């Protein structure tokens, strides 16, 4: 089993958060005027879209590499649908275009990647998320 951890901390003088994993950072915020947001970074729905599309971009490269195929450019658009109160992601649509350097059609590569892509398949399977209160005492948590 593999695990990865990301960290987020509030940014002084803002209500945004700075997230990092290894040497990479990202700013997370709400849209301007929404619950103190200043639009300094991406919101949760945008991050979900990036997770779906970014993972697929990487997985296209993994699958192509394993098959000995060479890819040129990749273009992915992800639309995340939201509804309800509380607001939930109710669906996502991803459009994928990728250039095969040998001139062939990418449909087979896209289909193979669809079967193995981690984020989309995790969302489809309804992965459990556990939320713990870091401030809870050991006695209170029992």
Instruction: Report which of 42, 34, 38 is spatially closest to residue 18, judged by C-alpha positions.
Output: 42
pLDDT in tens, 55-87: 999 999 999 999 999 999 999 999 999 999 999
> What's the pLDDT band for 47 if we cut at 50, 70, 90?
very high
pLDDT in tens, 91-131: 999 999 999 999 999 999 999 999 999 999 999 999 999 99
Q: Would you state the pLDDT for residue 86?
A: 94
Q: Would you state the pLDDT for residue 14?
A: 94
Q: Would you state the pLDDT for residue 137?
A: 63
Distance CA(109)–CA(95), nearest Å, equals 14
């Amino acid at each position: 089993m593999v695990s990865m951890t990301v960290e987020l901390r509030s940014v002084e003088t803002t209500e945004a958060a700075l997230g990092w994993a290894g040497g990479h950072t990202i700013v997370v915020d709400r849209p301007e005027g929404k619950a103190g947001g200043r639009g300094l970074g991406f919101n949760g729905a945008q991050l979900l879209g990036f997770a779906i599309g970014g993972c697929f971009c990487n997985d296209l490269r993994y699958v192509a590499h394993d098959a000995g195929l060479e890819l040129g450019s990749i273009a992915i658009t992800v639309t995340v649908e939201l509804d309800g109160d509380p607001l939930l992601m109710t669906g996502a649509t991803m459009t994928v275009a990728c250039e095969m350097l040998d001139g062939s059609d990418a449909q087979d590569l896209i289909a193979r990647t669809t079967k193995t892509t981690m984020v989309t398949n995790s969302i489809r399977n309804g992965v459990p998320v556990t939320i713990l209160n870091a401030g809870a005492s050991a006695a209170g948590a029992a």
